[in-house]
Amino acid sequence: MTVRWLQSRSARKFFRHRPAVVALVVISLYLAVAVAVLLGGVTMEQTLERIGPGNLPGFQGRQLAEKRVEDCAMVLDRVEKALKRPSNLRAALGEIRYGLLRVADRPPEELRALVDQGWEIYDELVESPDLNADPSLLPQIEQLERLTGQLFAPLSGWQSLVRQFRLLLGTDRQGRSIMLRGVYSIKVAIQIGVITAFISVLIGSLLGASAAFFGGWVDHVVIWLYTTLSSIPYLVLLVVLAYAFSGAVWQFSLLGRPLSVDVGNTLIPVYVALCATFWIGPCRVIRGETLKIKQLEYVQAATATGFGRLYILVRHILPNAAHLMLINFSLLFIGAIKSEVILSFLGLGVKRGPSWGIMISHSAQEVINGFFWQIGAATVFMLVLVLAFNVLTDALQDVFDPKHL
């Protein structure tokens, strides 16, 4: 079946369409990453972990001298405070960690000496009137950074690669890796996109097809439902539903064991809010298509063969509307991802862990300070996925359109 499709005319048409192939590759990469994240490639804890100074620029970009000195001072300060608690020195030092970096396993005297040296350089530097504008101070700053670096245990080759990867896109205000947060959000976005689009298309198709096929009161109820829902501004409905769920805890028992789900903290409110509005699109389209299909002779022929009405609806009419479901799925997939970003930005979407919307909402403060790495990363991650999907949907439409060569 698959092999036959690959040799078919539509497959050849598809592979001739270069941007579509690129888009397919990009989407596959995103999917692979999402699966990797799902399997534990990146955990939520890792995205919340402090891996370095706050607002570090990506691609090993340099910060202002003042900021660099301050970051060093912060490390010196923390180590110094730990050294002041000799009773449980190991534990105190163990608490100081930046991602994979741990305080070096040296005797306390050595650490103390390094810290003191550091403070000396720091004091000199702080006295200079304009730290940022004076290039002659750079060697001293670098020396300070080397000193603070020595406080930490050296990383093995692989570990330092991992650290470089995490620092690739810089850090946010709390020193968390933007790269990891962006990558983890791929999983969140695709999860929300797939689940929302699937449920919406399923509900929409079933309701739309039944409305058109059975007519009468079924049709009236469905039309009433979707005209009512679509008369409410979509964002308002989303906000209301998201609010209604926030903080809710569901309690039920499964196999005799009491279970409580903290609904407000899961993605369930997002799914419900998005599905409640998104099913209208496919419902309308499928209803129209079913109205058209049910007039066709093969539906009458199926009745004349003796099939029941429900069977005809499911086996004869719905497969003929499958292309519309596919197109609607990809449209809603994109729509859901974008809406999730908006909802999270408003603080109504994802509650735990990162998502592109949360990254964008967190970067509001940073943008004012001229730090664009977080908002940039979130936007590019989303843009590439959405663009690839749009290109692919377009190409698929061309491929499945027999009139288009």
Inter-residue contact 245 to 269 (CB < 8 Å): yes
Q: Which of 305, 369, 403, 404 binds another protein (CB under 8 A)?
A: 305
* CB of 107 or CB of 306, closer to another protein: 306
Nearest to 371 by CA among 178, 186, 165, 183: 178
DSSP annotation of 300 reads H
Tokens of 147: 């000193």
Nearest to 171 by CA among 371, 364, 305: 371
Give the H/E segment covering residue 19. Answer: helix 18-38
What character string, x for contact with another protein (CB under 8 A) and - otherwise, covers 199-218? ----------------xx--
* CB of 7 or CB of 228, closer to another protein: 7
Taking the complex as a whole, how short is the minimal distance between the CB of residue 296 and another protein, in angstroms?
5
How many other β-carbons are positioned within 10 Å of the β-carbon of residue 107? 8
What character string, x for contact with another protein (CB under 8 A) and - otherwise, covers 253-272? --------------------
Site residues (CB under 8 A) for another protein, limited to 275-304: 296-298, 300-304
Site residues (CB under 8 A) for another protein, limited to 216-245: 216
Q: How many residues bind another protein (CB under 8 A)?
A: 19
Taking the complex as a whole, how short is the minimal distance between the CB of residue 399 and another protein, in angstroms?
16
DSSP string computed for 45-88: HHHHSB-SSTT--STT----HHHHHHHHHHHHHHHHHHHT-GGG
* CB of 233 or CB of 319, closer to another protein: 319
* CB of 214 or CB of 372, closer to another protein: 214
Phi then psi for 102, rounded to 5 degrees? -125, 155
Taking the complex as a whole, how short is the minimal distance between the CB of residue 48 and another protein, in angstroms?
49
* CB of 151 or CB of 399, closer to another protein: 399
Phi then psi for 152, rounded to 5 degrees? -100, 155
Taking the complex as a whole, how short is the minimal distance between the CB of residue 206 and another protein, in angstroms?
18
Taking the complex as a whole, how short is the minimal distance between the CB of residue 298 and another protein, in angstroms?
5
**Nearest 5°: CA angle at 359, between 358 and 360?**
90
* CB of 123 or CB of 297, closer to another protein: 297
Site residues (CB under 8 A) for another protein, limited to 310-339: 315-316, 319-320, 322
* CB of 259 or CB of 310, closer to another protein: 310
Q: Does 3 bind another protein (CB under 8 A)?
A: no
* CB of 316 or CB of 362, closer to another protein: 316
Inter-residue contact 350 to 267 (CB < 8 Å): yes
Please, which residues bridge with residue 103 across strands?
Answer: 152
Phi then psi for 103, rounded to 5 degrees? -65, 135
* CB of 260 or CB of 303, closer to another protein: 303
Q: Does 306 bind another protein (CB under 8 A)?
A: yes
The CA-atom distances, in angstroms, between 326 and each of 202, 285, 315 are 11, 12, 17
The CA-atom distances, in angstroms, between 388 and each of 22, 24, 391, 393, 404 are 8, 7, 5, 9, 21
Piece of 240-248, 261-269, 308-316, 389-397 that binds another protein (CB under 8 A): 308-316
Cα–chain center distance at 218? 38
Q: Does 307 bind another protein (CB under 8 A)?
A: yes
Taking the complex as a whole, how short is the minimal distance between the CB of residue 34 and another protein, in angstroms?
31
- What is the binding site for another protein (CB under 8 A)? 215-216, 296-298, 300-308, 315-316, 319-320, 322
